[in-house]
Structure 1
Amino acid sequence: MSAEHYFSADPKGVERRRYVNVSAAGRQFRLVASSGVFSADRLDPGTAVLLRKAPLPTTPGTYLDLGCGYGPIATALAAAGGGLVHAVDVNARALDLVRENAAAHSLADHVIASTPEEVPDSTTFDQIWSNPPIRVGKAVVHELMDTWLPRLAEGGVAWLVVAKFLGADSLQEWLIERGWDVERHASQKGYRVFAVRRPEEEDAA
């Protein structure tokens, strides 16, 4: 798997578009994907497990889709909760696709597609959803977690999906060492779904 999927701001090569069908939030979405964007041929299995097993929001809030790709999670979050979704990626082609897919499903007012640097520092999130790029190395994933998890709003939760064979359990241990409360919410098809919260909020409950 090429690291270009995660790190190229401007993917090279001819853009080859295709459609990916996604079932989430009680709806069917036909999303446009493209070469140069993560998992453009189909819905990534980890993302599919995350959307199946983690509870989508049912009320408006501010949400983050971290590493959004062409936007299956962002689209589902916007449709389910009706809040505001920040769809974040370094890949300009991916961000264009997110905008196109949101508009095609009448969700453009609920999705902001942007690079990490474009998200205001003051923005916090009621929920963070991510299928993090584990294959590019622990250092990168740890930096992502250290950067974005502290931006959870009070009472917020982060939903993460990681393949067991790619180190899901070691990531859980690392997050706990960093002071987070991590619950293994579900397991399916070799993937773990984690719910990550601030431990003091759990204690107060």
Structure 2
Amino acid sequence: MPDHYFSAAPSAPSRPGSVRLHTDGVDLSLATDSGVFSQGRVDRGTQVLLDHAPMPSVRGPLLDLGCGYGPIALTLATRRRRLPVWAVDLNERAVGLTRANASSAGLGNVTACHPDEVPDDLEFAGIYSNPPIRSGKAALHELLLRWLPRLQPGGAAFLVVGKNLGSDSLARWLDERGWPTTRVTSQKGFRVLRCERAPGSDPEGPSDE
């Protein structure tokens, strides 16, 4: 099987590089490497998410789901320095890069780790993600059904998905499973979706049946 950015342990030889991340209130140089999503550049969808997704309306921990080398997590941590920001990824190289980038930026409020290392009782005011669409629909649905129930009351998730990669069908799927979903913006071929828990819905999350 070829190596993917969602592989736990990338086999591609390390080829370190760096990118410049610039969005409102944030200007950072970030280390990247081979075997990690969007090596050598800030992904266009990620940039759209950072430029247009608002901060949550309630206060609490934030989650970068599928952090890569950390552009989303570090942006959140810069904008909300007093809030804990969790950055999770299955890719060990990505987690290491996010840790190193947070340290270089002096952002002590970032915790980068494997998803299984997040405390089970931790809820989030906001979840932000450029989800791994190319991992397949089943894996994507499993990922969202695992983490969306971790939203605290009043919290919201913001997902960026390409229009040609099923953003509208994903929004319908989320709606059908009890996660009211609206479009924040449509820019450069991407949609930013906002989803939240429906009032009175099961806090353990809907099934995927």
Shared fold (TM-score, shorter chain, > 0.5): yes
Counterpart CA distance in 2 for 1:61 and 1:80 is 13
CA distance in 2, matches of 1:158, 1:63: 10
TM-score of the pair, normalised by structure 2: 0.91
> 1:61 offset after TM fit, Å?
2.8
Distance 1:166 1:117, change over 3 A: same
Residue 155 of structure 1 is matched in structure 2 by 154
Correspondence 1:131-142 to 2 at 5 A: 131-142=130-141
In 1, the alpha carbon distance for the partners of 2:175 and 2:87 equals: 26
The AA in structure 1 aligned to 2:193 is: F
Aligned to 2:193: 194
C-alpha contact (below 8 Å) 1:102/1:111 kept by paired residues: yes
Q: CA deviation at 1:137?
A: 1.1
Q: Is 1:16 the equivalent of 2:15? A: yes
Give the gaps of 5 or more residues in structure 1: none
Supply the AA of the counterpart residue of 2:50.
L
Q: Distance in 1 between matches of 2:145 and 2:5?
A: 21
> Per residue, is there more helix in 1 or in 2?
1
Q: How far apart are residue 57 of structure 1 and its match?
A: 5.7
Per-residue deviation, residues 43-81 of structure 1 (Å, max 9, x unmatched): 011101000111246996301100000000000000001
Q: Which residue of 2 aligns with 1:174?
A: 173
Runs of 4+ in 1 over 3 A off after TM superposition: 56-60
Call closer, same or farther: CA 1:17–1:52 in 2, change over 3 Å.
Answer: same
**Correspondences of 1:82-121 after superposition (within 5 Å):** 82=81, 83-107=83-107, 109-121=108-120
Letter in 2 for 1:62: P
Residues paired across the two proteins, number: 198
State percent identity of aligned pairs: 51
Change (3 A) 1:58 1:152: closer
Residue 169 of structure 2 aligns to which amino acid in structure 1? S
Shift of 1:200: 1.4
Q: Secondary structure at the match of 1:70?
A: coil
Distance between the aligned counterparts of 1:199 and 1:113, measured in 2? 29
CA contact (8 A) 2:3 2:10 kept: no
User: TM-score, length-normalised on structure 1?
Assistant: 0.92
Kept in 1: contact 2:181–2:196 (CA 8 A): yes
For residues 82-139 of structure 1, give each alpha carbon's deviation from its aligned partner in whole angstroms, at most 9, with x where no partner exists. 21111000011111100110011100x2011111111111111010000001112110
Q: Quick check: 1:126–1:152 contact (8 Å CA) kept in 2?
A: yes
- Is contact 2:56-2:125 (8 Å) kept? no
Secondary structure at 2:155 match in 1: strand
The whole-number CA distance in structure 2 between the counterparts of 1:24 and 1:87 is 19
CA 1:146–1:183 in 2, change beyond 3 Å: closer, same or farther?
Answer: same
Over 3 Å counting, the alpha-carbon distance change for 1:156 and 1:59 in structure 2 is closer
- Give, in whole Å, the separation in 1 of the partners of 2:143 and 2:170: 12
